[in-house]
């Protein structure tokens, strides 16, 4: 009888130990699931923040590109205007020099007579 009582105690202890192990595994599984959920939430939040930063960077780059292109176009227009102005001045100087040359030839001819 004593063996039966001892056997019952042993079975009860083993059962209690197995139940404790199962409960610990359940708690561990719950903690892992919770950690995975927190991780997924953090990853989603980080991805959203990264996308916002990327969009902001692209917008800034496009604005700078537009600003730079506007400055380039403005400089090009100013350079062309200066070029055309210089060409006109050059034509005026050439015309003046030719007129002076013609007058000098006329004056030479008048002096000879």
CA 6: distance to chain centroid? 75
DSSP for 42-96?
HHHHHHHHHHHHHHHHHHHHHHHHHHHHHHHHHHHHHHHHHHHHHHHHHHHHHHH
Q: Using the predicted structure, report yes or no on whether residue 113 has a pLDDT greater than 60.
A: no
Q: What pTM, to 2 d.p., does this model score?
A: 0.54
78-97 tens-digit pLDDT: 999 999 999 999 999 999 98
Distance CA 58, CA 66 (A): 12
Mean pLDDT value of segment 103-110:
69
pLDDT of residue 109: 63
pLDDT of residue 8: 85
pLDDT of residue 108: 65
Reported residue count of the chain is: 113
Q: Using the predicted structure, report yes or no on whether residue 16 has a pLDDT greater than 60.
A: yes
Structure token digits, residue 45? 């939040």
* 3 DSSP 8-state letter: H
Percent of the chain with pLDDT over 70: 90
H/E run at residue 16: helix 2-112
Distance CA 4, CA 11 (A): 10
């Amino acid at each position: 009888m004593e063996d039966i009582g001892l056997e019952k105690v042993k079975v009860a202890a083993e059962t209690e130990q197995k139940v404790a192990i199962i409960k610990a595994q359940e708690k561990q599984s719950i903690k892992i699931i919770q950690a995975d959920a927190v991780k997924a939430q953090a990853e989603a939040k980080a991805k959203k923040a990264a996308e916002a930063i990327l969009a902001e960077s692209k917008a800034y780059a496009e604005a700078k590109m537009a600003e730079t292109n506007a400055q380039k176009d403005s400089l090009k227009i100013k350079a062309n205007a200066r070029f055309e102005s210089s060409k006109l001045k050059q034509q005026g100087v050439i015309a003046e020099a030719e007129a002076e040359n013609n007058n000098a030839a006329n004056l030479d001819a008048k002096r000879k007579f």
